[in-house]
Amino acid sequence: MKSRTIFGLSLCTAALSLAQAAPGKSHPESWVPPGLDDWKDVPAQSWHKRAADKQPIHLGPRPFWLVDNMDEGPLKERLQSCNTRHLKRSDFSIGHRGAPLQFPEHTKESYVAAAQMGAGIVECDVAFTKDRELVCRHAQNDLHTTTNIVAVPELNAKCTQPFVPADPASGTPARAECRTSDITLAEFKSLKGKMDAYNPMATTPEEYLAGTADWRTDLYASRGTLMTHKESIELFKALGVKFTPELKTPVVDMPFEGDYSQQDYARQMIQDYIDAGVRPRDVWPQSFNLDDVLFWVNETPRFGRQAVFLDQSAPVPENTSLAYMESLKAQGVNILAPALWKMLTLDSYGEIVPSEYAENARTAGLDLIAWTVERSGPLENGGGWYYQTVTDAINNDGDMLTVIDVLAREVGVIGIFSDWPATTTFYANCMGLGRH
C-alpha cells in the first residue's frame, strides 16, 4: 500500500520557494529539456505578449491533489515546495483540444479554460465543411458524438448515416455518422458542442447524446460554442496563446468533389495564419500524414520549420530505428510527436525510463512532443492505452507527475499535450520550463 500525505500539506507547502531546476544530481541548475531553447526564446509578437500578460493563471486544486497522491520521494518533495503565487504561461503546457477533461472539446469555452490554466499553446484540430470552410473538430466524422446534431432533425437528415435507434430486443446498438463535410459552415455554426460521448443503446436522439464517462462531467456542457479555424486564431490571439493546428485526415475521398485536393486543404490551413498576420514562429502545424508535413516543409518553409509529425505507427524496428529517425530529419522534419507510451519503458528495477524510440529520436536531432496526459481517467489500474509500456509502474493518479517528469527530464520533450493543462502548467512552473 502506497503511503499518502494529507491534502492540506500539499496546499500549505505549495507556497514555499520556487526552485529553478529539475531534481536530480545529473542536471545543472540551468537545466531545460534538450531542444526547448530552440523554440522558447524567440521574441513574442507585441500583441501576443500584451494579451498573455493580461491573463491571470488559475490552477485550481487538481495539481496539488495529484502531488498529494504521489509516492514519497525527492520528486514529491520538490513539487510540494513549489511557489504558485507568480505563475507564468508555459509553452511546455499544450491544451489538447482545449481542456476536454471537463469542457466540451474544441469549443470556445474549452479553449478559454485551457488559457486560464496557463497553456502556452492550444490546439485546433482542423476539418472542412461541405462548402470547404475550415472548422475546429477532432475528426471529420465525429459530429454525432461531439455535438447535438442528431437531435436537430433537419441536420440529422443530412448526415452520412442519420441516427438509427438501438434495438434492445436483439442487442443491436444505435448507429449514426455525421461529418463536417455533410453540412455547410452556417449549419455547423448552429450546432452546440457537447462532451465527446454517446449511448450505444439509445432509442431516441436525446438518449444518444448521453454517455459521458463518470470521471468526466457535464457540469460545463450547458453551452459549447463551436468555432471556425479563423475564429480560433482570433480567440487565441486575444488570449495570448500560441497555435498548434492539426490537419485532420479526411474520411472522404480526396480530392473532395473532384477538385479540392489534400494539398489545397493543407495550404488553406496555413493561409489562414498568413491572412491573420500570425508569425510562423508562433505556429506548430501538425499532421499524422507525413506528406502533409513535407508539403509544409517544402512549400511554406517558415511554417514547415515547426511542423509536427504525429507518429501513430506500430513500434516495429523499421519505425523506431536510428536510421528511420535520421531519414525523417534528412527530409526536413524537426519535431516528432508520438503517444507518450512510445517514449517510455521500464528498466530492470521497474523504474520508468526513456525507450529506445525516444533515444534514437533525440540522437537523430529530432525534438519530441508527447500526447496525452489527463485523458485516461483514474490510473489505479495501470492507466490504460496511454501508459501501456509502463503499466506495471502505474497504480495511482500521482504517478502521472512521475511520467511527466521522466518525459521532461530524461526524454527531453519540449512540450506535453494535456486534457487539463493546469497539471502541465504546474509542473512547468515548478521546473522553470517553457516560459511563454
pLDDT digits 0-9 by tens, 277-323: 999 999 999 999 999 999 999 999 999 999 999 999 999 999 999 99
pLDDT at 46: 53
Q: Is the pLDDT of residue 339 over 70?
A: yes
The average pLDDT across 200-218 equals 98
Grid cell locating 194: 457537447
Of the candidates 56, 57, 82, 79, the residue with the CA atom closest to the CA atom of residue 66: 79
Grid cell locating 230: 479563423
Neighbours of 213 (CB within 10 A): 11
| Residue 23, SS3 per DSSP | coil
Q: Is the pLDDT of residue 14 over 60?
A: no
In the chain, CATH 3.20.20.190 covers: 31-119+227-436
Chain centroid, CA 269 distance in Å: 18
- DSSP designation for 283: B
Grid cell locating 191: 450546432
Q: Which fold has domain 31-119+227-436?
A: TIM Barrel (3.20.20)
pLDDT at 1: 46
pLDDT at 435: 78
Q: Is residue 400 within a helix (H) or strand (E), and if so which, with residue range?
A: helix 399-405
pLDDT at 436: 73
The answer to which of 15-24, 77-86, 87-96, 265-274 has the lowest mean pLDDT is 15-24
Cα–Cα distance measured from residue 95 to residue 120, given in angstroms and rounded to the nearest whole number? 8
Q: Is the pLDDT of residue 193 over 60?
A: yes
Of the candidates 235, 242, 234, the residue with the CA atom closest to the CA atom of residue 49: 242
Of the candidates 230, 302, 353, the residue with the CA atom closest to the CA atom of residue 42: 302
Beta-strand pair 175-177/308-311: unpaired
Q: How confident is the model at residue 55 (pLDDT cuts 50, 70, 90)?
A: confident
Q: Is the pLDDT of residue 30 over 70?
A: no
Q: What is the full DSSP assignment across 385-424?
A: GGGTTSGGG--STTHHHHHHHIIIIII--SEEEESSTHHH
Cα–Cα distance measured from residue 70 to residue 249, given in angstroms and rounded to the nearest whole number? 38
pTM attached to this predicted model: 0.89
